[in-house]
């Protein structure tokens, strides 16, 4: 009995084995946070140094990472942050600026051509072209395009419309065709119910001429009816009302 008790006193249980697992866990967490911190910095020198260090560490330790035939640890390659995205943004920005400059040159060229055409054909009383914030606006008086209260184009308007149609395909822009009227109501029994319908049909007549007669792409045009909501002069005299009755063809900036 004395011998057995002595043997029991010599034995003791090792209750500190959990420290091994705990220390492994702390080490892995440390490595994880080091990797996360390094990945947050776009520094290729540090990234390369970290990758080499991890490669060496895992190749020398016993781990669950697969090994190649030479005994080196095979670590999955982590792609470094792509710095090309900044270069792409710079290139896109430069391209956008170049496109804007090219379009602006096209618009100014259009203005010069139309202005010269108006002067050469002595159309200053009926047609005008100006540079606005929206784009190059070509304004045609209603009597030059249509008979009173009508929306059918007059043959005399064809040459200027043909000139514009020849220039549009060279531009990289949309074209807004906008109908305007004065504030006088449509007389009862007329072809159109009100000024909204009249301005709409006049705008559409110009768009249809460009697309159906001249074969231009329909997706570059938009047709808008403003009726009497955007006058350029007060509707207090026949002369001013005449200014408000118009079609504006705006090559949008």
The predicted structure's pLDDT at residue 14: 62
The predicted structure's pLDDT at residue 225: 97
Name the residue ranges covered by the structural domains of the chain.
2-60, 88-252
Reported CATH class of domain 88-252? alpha beta
> Average pLDDT of each block of 10 consecutive residues along the chain (253 residues)?
52 66 82 74 62 62 44 43 60 76 91 94 94 96 93 95 94 94 87 94 97 96 97 95 96 93
Sheet holding 246-252, edge to edge: 127-131, 135-141, 246-252, 175-180, 221-227
pTM of the model: 0.62
């Amino acid at each position: 009995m004395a011998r057995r008790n002595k043997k029991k006193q010599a034995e003791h249980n090792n209750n500190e084995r959990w420290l091994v697992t705990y220390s492994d866990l702390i080490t892995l967490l440390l490595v994880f946070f080091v990797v996360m911190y390094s990945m947050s910095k776009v520094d290729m020198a540090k990234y390369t140094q970290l990758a080499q260090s991890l490669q060496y560490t895992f190749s020398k330790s016993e781990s669950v990472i697969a090994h190649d035939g030479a005994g080196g640890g095979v670590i999955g390659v982590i792609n470094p942050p792509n710095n090309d995205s900044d270069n792409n943004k710079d290139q896109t920005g430069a391209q956008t600026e170049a496109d804007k400059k090219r379009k602006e040159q096209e618009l100014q060229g259009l203005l010069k051509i139309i202005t010269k055409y108006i002067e050469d054909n002595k159309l200053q009383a009926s047609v005008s072209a100006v540079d606005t914030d929206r784009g190059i606006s070509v304004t045609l008086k209603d009597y030059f395009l249509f008979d009173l209260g009508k929306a059918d184009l007059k043959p005399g308007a064809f040459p200027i419309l043909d000139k514009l149609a020849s220039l549009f395909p060279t531009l990289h822009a949309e074209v807004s065709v906008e109908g305007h009227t004065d504030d006088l109501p449509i007389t009862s029994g007329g072809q159109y119910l009100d000024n909204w319908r009249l301005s709409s049909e006049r705008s559409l007549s110009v768009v249809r001429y460009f697309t159906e007669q001249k074969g231009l792409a329909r997706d570059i045009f938009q047709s808008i009816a403003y009726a009497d909501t955007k006058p350029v002069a007060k509707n207090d005299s026949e002369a001013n009302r005449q200014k408000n009755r118009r079609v504006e063809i705006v090559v949008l900036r």
